[in-house]
Amino acid sequence: MDTRTLGRLQVSSLGLGCMGMSQSFGARPPRDEMITFLRDAVERGVTLFDTAEVYGPFHNEELVGEALEPVRDDVVIATKFGFAFDDQGRQTGVTSRPESIRAAVDGSLRRLRTETIDLLYQHRVDPDVPIEEVAGAVKELIEAGKVKHFGMSEAGVATIRRAHAVQPVTALQSEYSLFWREPEDAILPALDELGIGFVPFSPLGRGFLTGQVTAATEFGEGDIRATLPRFEREALAANLALVDLVTKVADRKGVTVGQVALAWLLAQEPWIVPIPGTRRLERLDENLGSAAVELTADDLAELDVASTTVEVHGERYPEAMQKMIDR
């Protein structure tokens, strides 16, 4: 697989989002199957694996750590800090106090079975802790050899600039796709100026841009989409107009809707590395195949018109989660 550079970090042109192996999309699959799946991804050339302490919580880091331990020198592991937990391990809110960052990193290192974290993201901006203190704590962890690169997630431009002045930010992770283009307004220009890479999560709109979701789709127990305003019945039916337009491009090129959506992202900037999540080998192969899809200028223009003329109905998250996004 081709490689791309996030800041000074070289990774495969598509990474793998691992959250769904532990939560948010129905029942958790058997552990041994996911370990095999992760190692199959490495064999196919994937080098960037994205996890977080809150996924599970903790289960996902343990899974990723066990699966990638035999190939640790060949992969880049990204994880995240920034949530607080109660005595039962339940997430209770955000926290980026320096002492909590240090404790989170020690826990992640143990679960990931590694001596250093390649890319450490602040999962959500903590409004109660100055970002300079957060960046300073990560800087100390880098100097101690526990972390190699600093990343941020769902952070606004002003916050990114303030953090970057203390400790250079290697990558920003936020949602970006044909389904959600808000980062183009201010985020992407700032990242380009500062030399920061961009890692879009949900690059397929949580499955929406695969062409597999219909107006009749029922989201089962444990599927986060059942709680998201965009996937409510009326909103979903309206939003499918976008998929219909993307399907026209996919059919013309003889590829899938999902491959077009990922190829569109890859065509935006050379420093963009999407991390589509999946737990199925056939979907992984499909996603990786998007790197070979060549979109012409006319294709890109058609997709641009499609995604800007179809009004997306529904917010990204419920109100409580929406408040955690820093803009």
| Predicted confidence (pLDDT) per residue in 171-206, tens digit | 999 999 999 999 999 999 999 999 999 999 999 999
Averaged pLDDT of the chain: 97
88 pLDDT more than 90? no
Q: State if pTM tops 0.95.
A: yes
CA–CA distance, 53 with 105 (Å, rounded to integer): 9
Percentage of the chain with pLDDT > 70? 100
Which tens digit of pLDDT belongs to each residue from 15-41? 999 999 999 999 999 999 999 999 999
Confirm if 279 and 29 have CB atoms less than 8 A apart: yes
DSSP state of 223: B
Q: Which of 55, 121, 176, 317 is catalytic?
A: 55
CA–CA distance, 55 with 84 (Å, rounded to integer): 13
Task: List domains and CATH numbers for the chain.
Answer: 3-322 (3.20.20.100)
167 pLDDT more than 90? yes
The whole-number average pLDDT for the span 103-114 is 98
pLDDT at 327: 80
- For residue 285, give the amino acid letter: D
* 121 given a catalytic annotation: no
The whole-number average pLDDT for the span 146-166 is 98
Residues 6 or more apart from 192 whose CB is under 8 A from it?
A: 269, 271
Pairing label, strands 91-94, 83-85: antiparallel
pLDDT at 151: 98
